[in-house]
Amino acid sequence: MTNAPPRRSIAALILGIVFGLIGLVLTGGGAWLLISGGSPYYLVTGIALIVAGVLLARGRKAGGWLYIVIFAVTLLWAYWEVGLDPWALVPRVVAPLVLLIALQLVWPTLDRSAGRWRRAWVGVAVTFAVAIGFFWSIAGNFIPPVLQGLPDARYAMADPSIGTTGADWPAYGGTNSARRYSPLAQITPANVGNLKRAWLIHTGDLPASAQIRNTYGAENTPLKIGDTLYVCTPKSMVIALDPATGKQKWRFDPKVSDEAIPYTAACRGVSYYAVPGAAADTPCAQRIILGTLDARIMALDARTGQQCRDFGSNGQVRITDGMGQVPPGYVSITSPPTIVRGVIVTGHQVLDGQDRWAPSGVIQAYGAVTGKMRWAWDMMHPERSGPPPAGQTYARGTPNMWTIASGDEQLGLVYLPMGNSAADYYSSLRRPEENRYATSLVAIDVMTGKPRWNFQAVRKDVWDYDFGAQATLIDFPTTRGPVPAMLLPSKQGDIYVLDRRTGRPLTPIGDIKAPQIGVEPEQRAATQRISLYHTLRKPDLTEKDMWGMSPIDQMICRIQFRRASYKGFFTPPEADRRSIEYPGYNGGTDWGGIAVDPARGVIVANYNDMPNYVRLVPRKEANKKGWAPRDQARGEIGGAEGAGDPQAHTPYAIDVNAGWRLPFTGLLCKQPPYGGIRAIDIATGKTIWDRPFGTARTNGPFGIPSMLPLTIGTPNNGGSVVTAGGLIFVAAATDNLIRAIDLKTGKTLWQDVLPAGGQATPMTYSQNGKQYLVIMAGGHHFMQTPVGDELIAYALN
């Protein structure tokens, strides 16, 4: 009896061609990866797939059996590389599983036996059920444990600020100590499930065009003082609301033009000042201090919204006076000024990446009543205490403070988280004073404007690791008793504990060897500073950490990893190839800062865990691309920071792939999670619990929302609030949710879908005996969340 000839099957032919094409891609890419020092899996699998495809196309079952062997080997290899980590298994297993199901459906076309289709469908159903059950079970069991309980000790931390939280929320961080803590306890883990929307208002500040939409990111945290809530909008409008109903009391529009918008149209908040001794009904006895996108500081009557005409020049001061040439959008105030001892201290954002000699980062101070300049700190001219002489300007290109300062009313100090010099990624032109103060926390005497001390976290920064978060003021427990201290979080993920009187570290600090490579090896420090108290930073990346939607894009990410310059933490940028910066400039803690429960002694930190894929672009090449400073530019503003910034007057422009995304799928090359939230014991620096933060519901390949409620850990911007009720309230993630999280366990107890992105820090207050939670749902262009203008208040039903 002769063997029956192979049965001709169009379906098998098509699947065989698919196998062959995938095999060709894996073979070519796998060979490239292997030559680059990477895994041999892709080359071997690609060759085997080609053979399986040819056999299937010829109608031979051997092709199917070979693929089953390939799939089994893939499972073993995936387990060997990443174990049972569900998100790491996705690109290694899901696409091969889909091909296995397709093979099961094609198999009956190669068979003549009775019942072949029934067996095929049963096989598909069993395979699908087993796969779903497997991923569901390991995803459910992949919840990190609570490592330790909340601290037993109870603290009684004094707050050196004037205002207090509870009924009110008088400053951006709650108070100038920036703890983001409220003693309110009406909302608890037991009843938070009853939290409902109490009111919602629209601010009316929405982008007027698609181009401007690419710059919007509200980032606002309102203030609540007495019977009024104060919110500011992306273009610096201020709205006063009834805190119980959301009804508008007054609105002030400073008339900021679109051309003044910098990288982001944002107003993180306003500041509040009560004039000592003034009668309550006196005009401007209580003031809202507003910093605008077009670089003005304005004083408004907190009761009426009218400008305080006795402040500065007809109610305002321009901080650009003395800066020389300032093109529109180059200098903006996006963070609330800090007021200590009646002195308004302001920094400002200088548009990143444009010009080595961009406008100055000078810090300026004004009287809260008169608006007269009290001092100006220009680090290149320490002999001065005021504006520059006629015909001169503040030193250009110096580090700026774009974020929020904290302040100690008792010590008379303002704590400035400083950024980098202009042209973040090239350091040879920096002056000694810049190298001293860049990427530092600088304590300024509010009465004199002179630095009292500074603490530098990065030496000669070429990673855009500027301090983005407020320092949080606490009393730190020591064997000698509590010490006035600060918690200083960083983009690198390190959290430092410093004596806020002197800047002396209260917890151990180490030095690690740093790569002295790149285009300026002589400029790179041999060692860099790290905190030995606590870090949010994860271990260095390896090839196994690469991710994707399928084995193909994961392989591409592996190739990119192998071909890039990467020597671990603090790898500097290069010009002839890409380098990997991990964490990236949005890593660790950014402007959202941390929250502290001062009674329980717990830090709450939501953080990012993403790399950047970076290259310095030689000037000639940048010129060919048309990359020019904003005031000379042709083209749209917006987009990711650093993606084609010219860095004029240096030899190199910079091209940053923020998050290290693949251009065709939009997925990140590093495997999840991309963000987390963690509780930390203040006294010991030990982790209490750590959770991935953010679900995959709005994320997916090609920008298509997956709507999966699975916790993946997304990028996040914005901070959290912790309450005496034992809850953490936070939005920040890209899934457009606001959550209540149990402080003890990290478990999400309640959530609500926001109408736009929640890239802002919430706040809480009480009015008429009821506790409210408020969040600005304004969205954010960089986080790619929907833009909106909704301010939402929640209360118990």
Q: Are 461 and 534 in contact (CB under 8 A)?
A: no
Rounded CA separation 162/709 (Å): 43
464 an active-site residue?
A: yes
Rounded CA separation 629/648 (Å): 7
- The phi and psi torsions of 87 (rounded to 5 degrees) equal -70, -35
CA dihedral sign, ordered 574, 578, 580, 581: positive
Q: Are strands 286-291 and 271-274 parallel, antiparallel or unpaired?
A: antiparallel
What are the structure tokens assigned to 529, written together? 């500073």
Q: Are 106 and 12 in contact (CB under 8 A)?
A: yes
Q: Are 572 and 566 in contact (CB under 8 A)?
A: no
What are the structure tokens assigned to 14, written together? 């098509």
The amino acid occupying position 180 is R
**Alpha helices by DSSP H, 83-208:** 86-89, 95-106, 116-140
Rounded CA separation 12/103 (Å): 8
The DSSP call for residue 363 is: E
Tell me the β-bridge partners of 596: 603
Rounded CA separation 121/99 (Å): 15
Report how far Cα 724 is from the mean position of its chain's Cα atoms.
26
CB atoms within 10 A of CB 661: 16
Rounded CA separation 795/773 (Å): 7
Catalytic residue among 464, 466, 553, 609: 464
CB atoms within 10 A of CB 542: 10
- The phi and psi torsions of 15 (rounded to 5 degrees) equal -65, -35
Which residue bears the tokens 């008169």?
Answer: 370
CA distances from 377 to 381, 396, 400, 718 (A): 8, 13, 11, 29
The amino acid occupying position 693 is F
**Alpha helices by DSSP H, 169-244:** 210-213
Q: Are 292 and 312 in contact (CB under 8 A)?
A: no
**Alpha helices by DSSP H, 328-466:** 432-437
Q: Are 223 and 170 in contact (CB under 8 A)?
A: yes
649's torsion region: left (phi>0), alpha (psi -120 to 50) or beta?
Answer: left
Q: Are strands 720-723 and 181-182 parallel, antiparallel or unpaired?
A: parallel
Rounded CA separation 330/247 (Å): 35
Rounded CA separation 515/713 (Å): 30
Report how far Cα 460 is from the mean position of its chain's Cα atoms.
23
Q: Are 796 and 771 in contact (CB under 8 A)?
A: yes
Rounded CA separation 557/120 (Å): 35
Q: Residues for the chain: how many in total?
A: 797
Report how far Cα 640 is from the mean position of its chain's Cα atoms.
12
Quick one: which of 712, 723, 708 has its CA closest to 676? 712
Rounded CA separation 473/486 (Å): 4
Rounded CA separation 718/657 (Å): 21
Which residue bears the tokens 């002396």?
Answer: 504
Residues annotated catalytic, as ranges: 464
